[in-house]
């Protein structure tokens, strides 16, 4: 296992700069060849060149940056709100098994409602501005954070709790010294899942009704059959998701440095 | 609280202790626990431990040894009988619990793990704690550089030493050790036995060691108690291998083999062929 992983690492380390973008380049090449000098296909599939031109235009006008910024702001705000609230609620369920049990079906319900179903309600409550999108991102993320952190709090090594009991620790001390830090892996897992869910929540809100953001940009462009702009929007969403996931990785590396060995 | 001299040196008095686990609904439904429902897990335990004394409890696995330790540690409440921790002084006797596998927090450095006592005890300052750490590191021949490391970077023997130091910081009167050295290789085990033995004797602590290793129990203990399958302490052996013995030198004592054989004969009768 480890030796094959090392091998992969060594090969990718040296040739990674060429190998990583290779599938993408092949994809673009096929796309280019199939749509070249074919206006019918270009109308439906656009073409790499048209997407590039649209990208330059949108970037130069500042429209792309503004829309991306709005979506990132909505998703991140909802993500932080949802993950923080969810982690606090989930971890505090450790205090009371009865409350946790009563809450369980409600959390399951919240976790299983498609965010699409909630979107019209939330938009009519919070308006078509950014607040409704933040709320949708919040609602998409809070259940996962609750479930994950509660699982984390319940799966603590029994020895750690016994040690604390024997040492005469209070329940609050056990919570602070053992429960919170040992649940961190679970909370980080929740964050990883939630980054995508928060983007989805914000995007759906924009998609249904909005005046700015990547979702808005994509809806407007597709209704005008401006496929190049749609693809620029999709590309921007992918880049945002990758960057945010990389940030979580960085956070994990910093917070869980003890796990490296 | 003031009693006569021999009683005041007692650190633990267990009288007529009985305990059984509450039947879990899942096991009841599965019919798995019906047989042992009415039976005690441990019963009729009378045990007194003096300061400076090491008591080993020997028995087959599942006989209730660990349950007894949990009861004494206060992790379980007795069904009948009493458990008294007597520290002699004003302060209540604290217990140091050492697990077979250490209970060090993997997200804390060794230093921060040992500092747990300073987090929990209001009367222990950090500077005071740091001085104690230095002293205990010397006792266990550990280098100060390990303080910055994480438990996962240490060997099993080192982790067990750190666990002992961690519990020493609470200044316990009684150590409870549940198969503490059984996961270690032979030489590390010998070393740790010696270090722990000297610590208990020098600091006049007391220790109850639960083990299934006859050799270890004879080498370490002042008394060896056998525990039956039905959770009773059936037999007591007083081990006298000289005043200034160590677990290592005890193994070379001619009397060692006869203690070993006596206990083995008795244990064989208990656990069957």
Closest CA to B95 of B171, B23, B174: B174
Compute the distance between CA of residue A3 and CA of residue A9 in angstroms, rounded to an integer.
Answer: 10
Query: How many Å lie between the alpha carbon of A3 and the closest alpha carbon of chain B?
Result: 21
Residue B1, pLDDT above cutoff 50: no
C-beta of residue B41 within 8 angstroms of C-beta of residue B64: yes
Q: Considering only residues 78 to 97 of chain B, which have any Cβ-Cβ distance to chain A shorter than 8 Å? A: 94-97
Mean pLDDT of B166-191: 91
Cβ contact A159–B150 (<8 Å): no
C-beta of residue B178 within 8 angstroms of C-beta of residue B102: no
Cβ contact B105–A261 (<8 Å): no
pLDDT reported for residue B6: 45
Report residue B80: phi and psi, to 5°: -140, 160
Mean pLDDT of B3-15: 67
Closest CA to B10 of B192, B152, B181, B206: B206
The pLDDT tens digits for A113-153 are: 898 899 999 999 999 899 999 999 999 999 999 999 999 99
Q: How many CB atoms lie within 10 A of CB A255?
A: 15
> What is the domain-level CATH number for residue B183?
3.40.50.300
H, E, C per residue of B53-109: CEEEEECCCCCCHHHHHHHHHCCCCCCEEEEEECCCCCCCCCEEEECCCCCCCCCCC
Residue B122: pLDDT band with limits 50, 70, 90: confident
Q: How many domains does chain B have?
A: 1
Residue B112 falls inside a structural domain: yes
Residue B168, pLDDT above cutoff 80: yes
- Residue of A166, A187, A253 for testing the chain B interface, max B β-carbons within 10 Å: A166
Compute the distance between CA of residue A185 and CA of residue A259 in angstroms, rounded to an integer.
Answer: 10
Query: How many Å lie between the alpha carbon of A196 and the closest alpha carbon of chain B?
Result: 28
Residues of A in Cβ contact (< 8 Å) with B105: 160, 177-178, 181-182
Q: What is the mean pLDDT of chain B?
A: 86
What pTM was computed for the model?
A: 0.81
Identify the closest residue of chain A to B105 by CA–CA distance: A160
pLDDT reported for residue B90: 43
Compute the distance between CA of residue B248 and CA of residue A184 in angstroms, rounded to an integer.
Answer: 44
* Helix, strand, coil tally for chain B in percent (to 5): 40, 20, 40
Mean pLDDT of B180-187: 88
Give every CB contact of residue B152 below 8 A, 6+ residues apart in sequence.
A258, A259, A261, B106
* Lookup result for tokens 């001085």: B131
Q: Is B2 exposed, middle or buried (CB count within 10 Å of its CB: 0-12, 13-18, 19+)?
A: exposed
Residues of A in Cβ contact (< 8 Å) with B101: 159
Mean pLDDT of B77-100: 79
Cβ contact B75–A166 (<8 Å): yes
Give chain B's largest Cα–Cα span: 56
> Where exactly are the structural domains of chain A?
45-260
Residue range A45-260 in CATH 3.40.630.10: no
Residue of higher predicted confidence among B7 and B261? B261
Alpha carbon separation from A215 to A74, A78, A141 (Å, rounded): 12, 16, 19
Output DSSP code: residue B24.
Answer: P
Residue B141, pLDDT above cutoff 70: yes
Q: Which domain holds residue B180?
A: 52-75+93-271
Residues of B in Cβ contact (< 8 Å) with A261: 150, 152-153
| 3-class secondary-structure state, position A157 | coil
Residue B39 falls inside a structural domain: no
Cβ contact B103–A162 (<8 Å): yes
Residue B31 falls inside a structural domain: no
Give every CB contact of residue A186 below 8 A, 6+ residues apart in sequence.
A148, A149, A151, A152, A155
Residue B8 falls inside a structural domain: no
pLDDT reported for residue A219: 94
Identify the closest residue of chain A to B104 by CA–CA distance: A160
Report chain A residues touching chain B, CB-CB < 8 A: 157, 159-160, 162-163, 165-169, 173, 177-178, 181-182, 184, 256, 258-259, 261
Lowest mean pLDDT among A178-182, A205-209, B27-31, B149-153: B27-31
Residue B8 token pair:
């005041």
Q: Which of A159, A160, A168 sits opposite B120 (nearest CB)?
A: A168
């Amino acid at each position: 296992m480890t030796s094959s992983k090392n091998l992969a690492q060594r090969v990718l380390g040296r040739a990674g700069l060429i190998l990583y973008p290779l599938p993408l380049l092949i994809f673009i090449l096929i796309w280019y060849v199939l749509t070249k000098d074919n206006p019918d296909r270009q109308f439906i599939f656009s073409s790499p060149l048209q997407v590039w031109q649209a990208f330059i235009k949108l970037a130069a006008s500042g429209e792309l940056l503004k829309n991306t910024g709005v979506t990132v702001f909505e998703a991140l705000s909802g993500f932080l709100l949802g993950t923080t609230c969810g982690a606090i609620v989930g971890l505090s369920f450790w205090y009371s098994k009865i409350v946790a049990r009563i809450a369980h079906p409600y959390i399951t319900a919240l976790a299983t409602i498609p965010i699409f179903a909630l979107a019209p309600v939330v938009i009519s409550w919070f308006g078509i501005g950014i607040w409704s999108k933040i709320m949708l991102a919040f609602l998409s993320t809070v259940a996962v954070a609750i479930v994950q952190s509660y699982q984390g709090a319940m799966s603590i090594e029994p020895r750690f709790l016994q040690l604390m009991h024997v040492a005469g620790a209070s329940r609050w001390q056990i919570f602070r010294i053992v429960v919170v830090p040992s649940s961190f892996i679970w909370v980080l897992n929740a964050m990883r899942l939630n980054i995508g869910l928060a983007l989805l929540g914000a995007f759906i809100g924009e998609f249904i009704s909005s005046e700015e953001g990547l979702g808005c940009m994509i809806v407007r462009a597709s209704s005008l059959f401006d496929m190049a702009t749609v693809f620029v929007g999709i590309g921007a969403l992918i880049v945002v998701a990758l960057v945010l996931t990389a940030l979580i990785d960085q956070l994990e590396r910093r917070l869980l440095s003890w796990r490296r060995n | 609280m003031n009693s006569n001299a021999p009683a005041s040196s007692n650190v633990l008095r267990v009288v007529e202790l009985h305990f059984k686990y509450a039947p879990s609904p899942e096991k009841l439904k599965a019919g798995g626990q019906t047989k042992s429902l009415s039976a005690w897990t441990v019963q009729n335990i009378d045990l007194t431990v003096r300061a400076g004394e090491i008591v080993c409890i020997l028995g087959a696995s599942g006989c209730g040894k660990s349950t007894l330790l949990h009861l004494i540690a206060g992790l379980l409440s007795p069904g009948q009988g009493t458990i008294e921790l007597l520290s002699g002084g004003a302060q209540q006797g604290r217990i140091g619990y050492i697990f077979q596998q250490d209970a060090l927090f993997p997200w804390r450095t060794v230093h921060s793990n040992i500092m747990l006592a300073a987090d929990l005890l209001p009367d222990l300052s950090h500077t005071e704690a740091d001085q104690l750490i230095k002293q205990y590191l010397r006792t266990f021949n550990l280098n100060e550089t390990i303080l910055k490391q994480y438990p996962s970077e240490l060997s099993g023997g080192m982790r067990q030493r750190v666990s002992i130091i961690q519990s020493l910081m609470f200044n316990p009167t009684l150590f409870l050790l549940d198969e503490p050295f059984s996961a270690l290789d032979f030489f590390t085990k010998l070393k740790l036995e010696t270090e722990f033995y000297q610590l208990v004797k020098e600091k006049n602590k007391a220790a109850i060691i639960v083990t299934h290793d006859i050799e270890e129990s004879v080498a370490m203990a002042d008394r060896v108690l056998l525990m039956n399958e039905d959770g009773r302490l059936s037999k007591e052996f007083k081990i006298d291998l000289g005043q200034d013995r160590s677990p290592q030198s005890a193994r070379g004592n001619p009397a060692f083999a006869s203690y070993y054989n006596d206990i083995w004969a008795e244990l064989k009768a208990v656990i069957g062929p």
